Amino acid sequence: MINKIKKYIEKHRLLETGQRVVVAVSGGPDSIALLKVLEMVSDEYRLTLVAAHLNHGLREESGYEEQFVRGISNEMMINFECKTVDITSIKKGSGKSTEDISRIVRYQFLHDVAKKYQAQKIALGHHLNDQSETVLINFLRGSGPEGLKGMLPVRDSLYIRPLLGVSRNEILSFMDSHKIPFMNDTSNTEDVFLRNRIRHLLIPELKGKYNPKLEESLNNMADIMRLEDDYMKMITDNILSEWDVEPDDDEITIRISELKKYHKAIQRRILKILLRRSTPNSQGIGYPHIKAVLDLACRNHPSGYLNLPHKVEVSREYDSLVISGWKKFGKINIGKKCDQLYFEVTLPGSVNIAQLGIIIKFSFVEPPVQIKSDENNIVYMDYDRIVLPLNIRTGKPGDRIQPLGMKGTKKIKSFFIDENIPIHKRKRFPLLSDKESVIWIVGMKLSERVKITEKTIQILKVEIV
């Protein structure tokens, strides 16, 4: 098995000589085998290894697993890093499953450990059977090539999977022949989790009645899909580059006539990329949304409008297709429903701006206060410099502000231009104003006129919550 893994490492260029590698170790056979294999090749590659264990606190044996991994790491003379988290508490109110939350927390922990040790790679213990399960899960969810290519040997030039070419049985045989102890995760036997149901029920059924070499077939398909997906990505990246579309563009306009020059598969891939770029973490866009946008572009009617998840807006005007993401400014999402805001402010008190999904809280605090230069969601004002009444509203022609640190005033319009805020969003942006002028472009810029000085007696704290 060692030779097989070494060939896989070489084929996919997973490691380079002299690298520091963080190894994710849960205590199960896969991760312990991964740690042992890397320890066995560490001299050849001159690797520095760090074993990283996250204690989820979800099971009674969690404490034993931590001690076990610590002991194995000490025996191998490998640095050990551990963190205990309360997944149940983190999950509350998140709307995510235990599996999803655990995955997010685990990757953040591994990233933190890699940063601490300045590691070039993070090694994960996924193997060939995990790959076939992943491909099958994505198939059942209706994924395209991106899902059917499964897990990658290398992701983001950071995460590596050295065991992806060997099976679970090969790993167990390796552990047995070397008499290496490991722990069994009891949650792997619970069919409440989708992956466990796939592993224990569906795959045996498919292997027994339809294809005894199912894992091999699924992995071959993943290899094919990975190459074809890479090719599609290269083609679409080249097209978007020719169109001068930048990854961080808040609003994208493409010519429908140009889009139609390409095969439907390319059209869909382009729209998928552009729509996902407009959402937080590239999530929430699926086949129905891409199809709806493509239908909008291809129908005979010259105009139309779509509202998509995460407040992505798509509009058509003749030959132009405009995709607009709701760019997030601090805690604020700016969108169509934010036109003509107006709220009177009572001190102390709060203003609930449902259109923006925020509450702005006003309270009085005692000096001194600690002001963080990088904090845009909380500001402190000299109350005696405010000319009441206060209101929160959207902009109007002629609005000006004296930006913090400047002597003169500046048009709000000019400020938005300098900050590269799109035209259609400027008139929707909330402003806090007193009787004289704008004193806070909410979440962005405070006025010099109301800043705190040594002479300040009363401090008004304004916070986006």
Please report which confidence band the pLDDT of residue 254 belongs to, taking 50, 70 and 90 as the band edges. very high
pLDDT of residue 372: 73
Judge whether residue 330 has pLDDT over 80.
Answer: no
pLDDT of residue 399: 92
Does one domain contain both 177 and 266?
no
Query: CATH no. for residue 297?
Result: 3.30.465.60
Residue keyed to tokens 């609005």: 399
Q: Is 236 part of any domain? A: no
Which of 56 and 129 is assigned the larger pLDDT?
A: 129
Does one domain contain both 81 and 134?
yes
Q: Strand, helix or coil at 314?
A: strand
Please report which confidence band the pLDDT of residue 235 belongs to, taking 50, 70 and 90 as the band edges. very high
Alpha-carbon span 203 to 47, nearest angstrom = 37
Judge whether residue 185 has pLDDT over 90.
Answer: no
Q: How many domains does the chain have?
A: 3
Q: Is 235 part of any domain? A: no
pLDDT of residue 16: 94
Q: Is 225 part of any domain? A: no
Judge whether residue 61 has pLDDT over 70.
Answer: yes
pTM attached to this predicted model? 0.66
Alpha-carbon span 394 to 381, nearest angstrom = 20
CB atoms within 10 A of CB 170: 18
Which of 369 and 40 is assigned the larger pLDDT?
A: 40
Which of 258 and 192 is assigned the larger pLDDT?
A: 258
Residues 6+ apart with CB under 8 A from 77: none
Least confident of 17-26, 59-68, 181-190, 290-299: 181-190
Query: CATH no. for residue 200?
Result: 3.40.50.620
Any alpha helices (H) in 12-97, and if so which ranges?
A: 29-45, 62-75, 87-91
Q: Is 233 part of any domain? A: no
Does one domain contain both 61 and 206?
yes
Does one domain contain both 16 and 95?
yes
Does one domain contain both 57 and 127?
yes
Does one domain contain both 73 and 109?
yes
pLDDT of residue 80: 96
Does one domain contain both 94 and 213?
yes
Alpha-carbon span 85 to 106, nearest angstrom = 10
User: Looking at 220, 235, 258, which one is the last position of a domain?
Assistant: 220
Does one domain contain both 318 and 460?
no
Report, as an integer, the average pLDDT of 316-323: 89
- Mean pLDDT taken over the chain: 88
pLDDT of residue 194: 84
DSSP string, 170-188: HHHHHHHHTT------GGG
Does one domain contain both 187 and 249?
no
CA neighbor of 386 nearest in space, from 334, 450, 455:
450
Q: Say which amino acid occupies 173.
A: S
Does one domain contain both 319 and 336?
no
Judge whether residue 296 has pLDDT over 90.
Answer: yes
pLDDT of residue 302: 85
Judge whether residue 60 has pLDDT over 80.
Answer: no
Q: Tell me which residue range forms the domain holding 283.
A: 243-326
User: Looking at 288, 304, 326, which one is the last position of a domain?
Assistant: 326
- Terminal C-alpha separation, the chain: 55
- As a dihedral over the C-alpha atoms of residue 297, residue 302, residue 306, residue 311, rounded to 10 degrees, the angle is 90
Q: Is 226 part of any domain? A: no
Judge whether residue 338 has pLDDT over 80.
Answer: no
Least confident of 143-147, 166-170, 177-181: 143-147
Q: Is 69 part of any domain? A: yes
Q: 2-7: long-range contacts at Cβ-Cβ below 8 A with a sequence spacing of 24 or more?
A: 2/37, 2/40, 2/41, 2/174, 4/165, 4/166, 4/170, 5/37, 5/162, 5/163, 5/165, 5/166, 6/41, 7/165
Does one domain contain both 315 and 337?
no
Q: Is 227 part of any domain? A: no
Judge whether residue 98 has pLDDT over 80.
Answer: no
What is the per-residue pLDDT across 410-445, written as a single tens digit (0 to 9) for each? 999 898 888 767 666 777 789 999 999 999 999 889
User: Looking at 326, 352, 380, which one is the last position of a domain?
Assistant: 326
CB 323 within 8 A of CB 314: yes
Please report which confidence band the pLDDT of residue 392 belongs to, taking 50, 70 and 90 as the band edges. very high
Q: Is 232 part of any domain? A: no
Does one domain contain both 143 and 176?
yes
Percent of the chain with pLDDT over 70: 91
